[in-house]
Amino acid sequence: MDTKDLPILRVRWQLQFTKCSLKCPYCIAEWTKRPVNFDPERFNRIIDRLLEQPYRLVMRLGVEGEIFLSPHIQDGVIRLSHHPKVDGVSFSTNLMASDDKVKAFLDKADTSKIGIGATIHDTQITDEQKEDFFKRVEMVQKRGVLIYVGYVAKPDRFDYMREYKERLDAIGVPFLPNEYNGAFEHVPYPEAYTAEEREFLKSHFFADHYYRQLVEREVPRGKPCLAGHRYIYLGSDGRILRCGNERHLKWNLTQKVAWRVKEKWAEDMQKKRVKKREMGNILTDDLVLSDKPTLCPHDSCTCGNETQAIYSVGRDYHRTRTLRVIYSKADAAKMEEKYPNLKPLENDSCSLA
Ligand code: SF4
Ligand code: SF4
């Protein structure tokens, strides 16, 4: 069978390379508090196993730190990018590495398959570093990478969002905000966004689907999803889950009762429930996927890389080689003109008419 006829499997793979060049106080990877659990040999074996599967791959590596501090992860991405079974491989970075370092990586990779999410940590860097960041984004874009810039929509940073979107639109780079998730001036977000702020966010989100899932928190429960069918989550140790939400199951009644007696008892029950739902380990087991989309059992789907797995996304949006980037089919011609590195994947089995 021609590689191009293979169905596409999308994979989010967490690596726990918890080392970074910045120390953002809001870091969700909490890299300063967690040990590095990255084993280069295991990393390469997982890549070998993925490439053995009868699928074309669109992968997102969740580094949990900074990729430009790890030659091993960069080499893995370069290798994946040249493989005929790989349609896309993306990762996020703070893009604070030197131009030379970034260029050396791009020189070795097939940039037509690379996706990068460059997050701008503007409260942690100087104005000069910020300007260097934008120049580097443009350099990467010109090399053909489907790069986007990510930003957290904190309620007091909307003016910056406006400015960044304009700057990035001018160089053809998508700007992809994420909702602010947490307390700001003692009120919880995203719930506390006002109607006016919501309007602003709606007009600054790249795809309406993301606005609905991340800001409005639409409930996915019961919706058909590619999770476990044409999408999987991989842990750094190779364990396979339908999606990342499977790690955080809602406590059932028995657990709630058990917790009153002994906290640890309830937590052990939780571990067992999660384990039971795992789909094996890519290093040791056959990858057995569901033969059709599955129904979502969760109440929220707010991971930027996972929410694209909702089945109906394939009807209204083009998915791309960068897992986080989808764009409206209805506006496709306009979007592709404005953002030149956007394009749908060829023969995408998850695209719906
Ligand atoms: S750049 Fe990212 S990984 Fe590094 S400290 Fe900031 S939020 Fe954490
Ligand atoms: S909709 Fe989201 S949370 Fe639900 S199964 Fe799919 S990826 Fe997981």
Please tell me if the CB atom of residue 306 comes closer than 6 angstroms to any atom of ligand 2: yes
For residue 255, pLDDT beyond 80: no
CB atoms inside a 10 Å sphere around CB 335? 18
> Among residues of the chain, what percentage have pLDDT more than 70?
100
The two tokens of residue 259 are 């917790």
Least confident of 143-152, 170-179, 243-252, 293-302: 243-252
Mutate which of 24, 133, 149 for ligand 1? The one with the most ligand atoms within 8 Å of its CB, which is: 24
295 CA from centroid of ligand 2 (Å): 8
The answer to whether 199 and 211 have CB atoms below 8 angstroms apart is no
62 CA from centroid of ligand 1 (Å): 12
Q: What does the alpha-carbon distance between residue 259 and residue 251 come to, in Å, rounded to a whole number?
A: 10
- Give backbone dihedrals phi and psi of 99, rounded to 5 degrees, phi first: -55, -40
pLDDT at 264: 82
The two tokens of residue 160 are 């910056």
Atom of ligand 1 nearest to the CA of 23: 5
For residue 61, pLDDT beyond 80: yes
- Ligand 2 atom 2, closest CA: 301
Task: Report the topology of domain 3-224+297-338.
Answer: TIM Barrel (3.20.20)
- Ligand 2 atom 5, closest CA: 296
Atom of ligand 2 nearest to the CA of 294: 5
The answer to whether 184 and 155 have CB atoms below 8 angstroms apart is yes
According to DSSP H, which parts of the chain are helical? 40-52, 71-82, 99-108, 127-142, 158-170, 195-204, 208-210, 253-261, 263-277, 313-316, 332-338
227 CA from centroid of ligand 1 (Å): 27
229 CA from centroid of ligand 1 (Å): 31
- Give backbone dihedrals phi and psi of 60, rounded to 5 degrees, phi first: -125, 120
- Ligand 2 atom 8, closest CA: 243
pTM: predicted TM-score of the whole model, two decimal places: 0.94
The strand pair at 231-234 and 8-14 is best described as parallel
Please tell me if the CB atom of residue 92 comes closer than 6 angstroms to any atom of ligand 1: no
301 CA from centroid of ligand 2 (Å): 6
Confidence of residue 277 (pLDDT cuts 50, 70, 90): confident
Confidence of residue 250 (pLDDT cuts 50, 70, 90): confident
Q: What does the alpha-carbon distance between residue 266 and residue 220 come to, in Å, rounded to a whole number?
A: 26
129 CA from centroid of ligand 2 (Å): 37
Q: State mean pLDDT over 274-287.
A: 93
The answer to whether 188 and 153 have CB atoms below 8 angstroms apart is no
DSSP of 256-307: HHHHHH-HHHHHHHHHHHHHHH---BTTTS-----SS-EE---S----TTTG
Q: What does the alpha-carbon distance between residue 179 and residue 193 come to, in Å, rounded to a whole number?
A: 10
Q: Is 53 exposed, middle or buried (0-12, 13-18, 19+ CB in 10 A)?
A: middle
Q: Is 339 exposed, middle or buried (0-12, 13-18, 19+ CB in 10 A)?
A: buried
According to DSSP H, which parts of 120-252 are helical? 127-142, 158-170, 195-204, 208-210
Least confident of 24-33, 82-91, 238-247, 339-348: 24-33
Please name every residue paired with 248 in a beta bridge, in sequence order, or none if there are none: none
What is the number of the ligand closest to the CA of 33? Answer: 1
The two tokens of residue 245 are 């939400």
Please tell me if the CB atom of residue 245 comes closer than 6 angstroms to any atom of ligand 2: yes
- Residue tagged 């640890």 (tokens): 264
Please tell me if the CB atom of residue 65 comes closer than 6 angstroms to any atom of ligand 1: yes
Please tell me if the CB atom of residue 309 comes closer than 6 angstroms to any atom of ligand 2: yes
Name which of 138, 94, 88, 142 is nearest 110 in CA terms. 88
Confidence of residue 1 (pLDDT cuts 50, 70, 90): confident
Mutate which of 219, 292, 310 for ligand 2? The one with the most ligand atoms within 8 Å of its CB, which is: 310
- Ligand 2 atom 3, closest CA: 301
- Ligand 1 atom 3, closest CA: 65
- Ligand 1 atom 6, closest CA: 24
For residue 48, pLDDT beyond 90: yes
At a CB cut-off of 8 Å and minimum separation 6, what does 164 contact?
120, 149, 151, 175
